[in-house]
């Protein structure tokens, strides 16, 4: 039964009940002259006086007829009044049962190709990745973030948001308790571990999976649109594109540098064909020696690393990584990059988080590979 039909039934039953009461009142009016009482006892003082001088049956006297009509009219007025009250009650119920405007939904497609149903107005967000947290704040929706991960430390306000665990092992219980309208996820692989649990709780998950700087800009704009911050996010993306274009133009004036990007040393991981960092290095005037390796962040053998003979090595370190990954892997100790002193340590937070600060990372790489272009 729909809410509307339910309300109609309630009104019908209410009015039927009123009609029953009214009918009883009328019946009582018809039968109110009891055998042991004189009809005159029910007349007004004036009517009783007239009754004494009349030989006509009291039931036909004006006073008796007026008494019945008055009762019937009163009942009719009562019926109308109560019906009006019933209509007002139903209208009130309609207002209370009508779904709030915030319950309106829309269907969108996320960056993993999944169809996701989201509220038109999103007021409660949980982010499961630092880059997504940064994007939420950048587009002006930070006050709607009710949960994030222990790695979400930028901007400073993110540190005070309720934590739901780390990026790869968030607590479903904590997420559910926060009652989010959407959970933002960084990659499809991260989603697979708990998507069924989120679905069981009727919590929508939106996946971003950028593989280039342009994809990152797209993610920023898309999330801004989802959070009804279109103009704000459009302004941010425009400014970031302008910066990136200027950096790329400056770095492009020099000779391309062969680069090995060391994600971690023990075991050795690097960037592959599908990594957004491969695109970033190219824009910064370099060429990743592992650009043709399949995947985004493949494990790499020591022999393959040595054979690559990079002219420069980038170590994402510092920031939230602390001193981790601050040393070149043993297999590359005799590489051209190490022998020429072209090992560059860059804040890992600027490189590992595909968000607004990735352009800062682009500039850091470009300045390292082509210092002459930025003097």
pLDDT in tens, the chain (375 residues): 544 444 444 445 444 444 444 344 434 444 444 344 444 443 343 334 334 433 333 333 333 333 333 434 445 544 544 444 444 544 444 434 333 345 799 999 999 999 999 999 999 999 999 999 999 999 999 999 999 999 999 999 999 999 999 988 899 999 999 999 999 999 866 666 677 788 888 899 999 999 999 999 999 999 999 999 999 999 999 999 999 999 999 999 999 999 999 999 989 999 999 999 999 999 999 999 999 999 999 999 999 999 999 999 999 998 877 778 999 999 999 999 999 999 999 999 999 999 999 999 999 999 999 999 998
At residue 268, the pLDDT reads 96
In sequence order, what DSSP letters do the residues of 278-321 get, joined into one string?
Answer: HHHHHHTTEEETTTTSSSSS-B--HHHHHHH--SEEEEEESGGG
At residue 188, the pLDDT reads 65
Each domain of the chain, given as residue ranges in start order, spans 3-97, 103-209, 255-374
- Answer whether 154's CB lies under 8 Å from 160's CB: no
Q: In what order do the strands lie in the sheet with 204-207?
A: 145-147, 125-127, 182-185, 204-207
Q: Which residues pair with 204 in a beta bridge?
A: 182
Token match 């309720």: residue? 162
Between CA 54 and CA 222 the distance in angstroms is 94
- Answer whether 162's CB lies under 8 Å from 147's CB: yes
At residue 190, the pLDDT reads 66
State the DSSP code for 371: G
Q: Which two tokens stand for residue 189?
A: 């692989």
> Do you find a cis peptide bond into 155, omega within 30 degrees of 0?
yes
Angle at 172 between CA 163 and CA 179, to 5 degrees: 75
Between CA 297 and CA 278 the distance in angstroms is 10
CA atoms 48, 50, 54, 58: torsion sign: negative
Between CA 132 and CA 224 the distance in angstroms is 11
CATH number of 255-374: 3.40.50.1980
In sequence order, what DSSP letters do the residues of 58-104 get, joined into one string?
Answer: GGGSHHHHHHHHHHHHHHHHHHHHHHHHHHHHHHHHHHHHSPPGGG-
Is residue 107 left, alpha or beta, with left meaning phi > 0 and alpha meaning psi from -120 to 50? Answer: beta
At residue 109, the pLDDT reads 97
The answer to whether domain 103-209 and domain 255-374 are alike in fold is yes
- Answer whether 361's CB lies under 8 Å from 241's CB: no
Angle at 236 between CA 234 and CA 241, to 5 degrees: 95
- Answer whether 297's CB lies under 8 Å from 272's CB: yes
- Answer whether 273's CB lies under 8 Å from 295's CB: yes
Helical residues (DSSP H) of the chain, grouped into ranges: 3-30, 45-52, 62-97, 130-138, 172-177, 188-192, 195-200, 213-226, 230-251, 276-283, 302-308, 336-339, 348-352, 358-369
Q: How many CB atoms lie within 10 A of CB 22?
A: 17
| pTM for the full predicted model | 0.73
- Answer whether 181's CB lies under 8 Å from 212's CB: no
With H, G, I as helix, E, B as strand and everything else as coil, classify residue 34: coil
Which pairs with CB-CB distance under 8 Å and at least 24 residues apart come from 145-150? 146/178, 146/179, 146/180, 147/174, 147/175, 147/178, 147/180
Q: Please tell us whether the domain made up of 103-209 is placed in CATH 3.30.70.260.
A: no
């Amino acid at each position: 039964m729909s809410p509307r039909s339910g309300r109609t039934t309630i009104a019908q039953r209410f009015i039927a009940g009123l009609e029953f009461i009214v009918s009883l009142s009328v019946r009582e009016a018809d039968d109110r002259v009891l055998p042991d009482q004189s009809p005159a006892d029910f007349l007004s003082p004036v009517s009783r006086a007239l009754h004494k001088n009349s030989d006509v049956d009291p039931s036909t006297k004006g006073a008796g007829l007026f008494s019945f009509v008055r009762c019937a009219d009163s009942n009719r007025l009562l019926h109308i009044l109560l019906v009006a009250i019933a209509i007002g009650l139903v209208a009130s119920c309609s207002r209370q049962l009508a779904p709030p405007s915030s319950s309106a939904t829309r269907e969108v497609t996320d960056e993993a190709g999944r169809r996701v149903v989201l509220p038109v107005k999103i007021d409660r967000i949980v982010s499961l990745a630092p880059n997504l947290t940064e994007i939420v704040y950048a587009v002006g929706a930070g006050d709607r973030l009710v949960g994030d991960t222990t790695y979400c430390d930028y901007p400073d306000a993110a540190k005070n948001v309720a934590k739901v665990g780390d990026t790869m092992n968030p607590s479903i219980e904590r997420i559910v308790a926060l009652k989010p309208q959407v959970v933002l996820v960084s990659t499809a692989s991260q989603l697979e571990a708990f998507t069924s649990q989120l679905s069981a709780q009727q919590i929508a998950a939106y996946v971003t999976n950028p593989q280039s700087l342009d994809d990152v800009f797209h993610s920023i704009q898309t999330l801004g649109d989802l959070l009804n911050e279109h103009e704000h996010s459009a302004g941010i993306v425009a400014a970031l594109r302008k910066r990136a274009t200027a950096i790329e133009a400056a770095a492009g004036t020099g000779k391309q540098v062969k680069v090995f990007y060391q994600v971690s040393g023990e075991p050795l991981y690097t960037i592959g064909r599908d990594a957004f960092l491969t695109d970033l290095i190219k824009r910064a005037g370099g060429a990743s020696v592992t650009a043709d390796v399949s995947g985004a962040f493949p494990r790499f053998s020591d022999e393959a690393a040595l054979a690559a003979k990079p002219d420069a090595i980038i170590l994402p370190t510092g920031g939230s990584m602390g001193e981790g990954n601050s040393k070149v892997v043993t297999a590359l100790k005799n590489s051209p990059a190490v022998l020429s002193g072209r090992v560059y340590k860059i804040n890992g937070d600027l490189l590992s988080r595909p968000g607004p600060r990735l352009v800062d990372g682009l500039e850091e790489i470009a300045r390292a590979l082509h210092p002459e272009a930025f003097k």
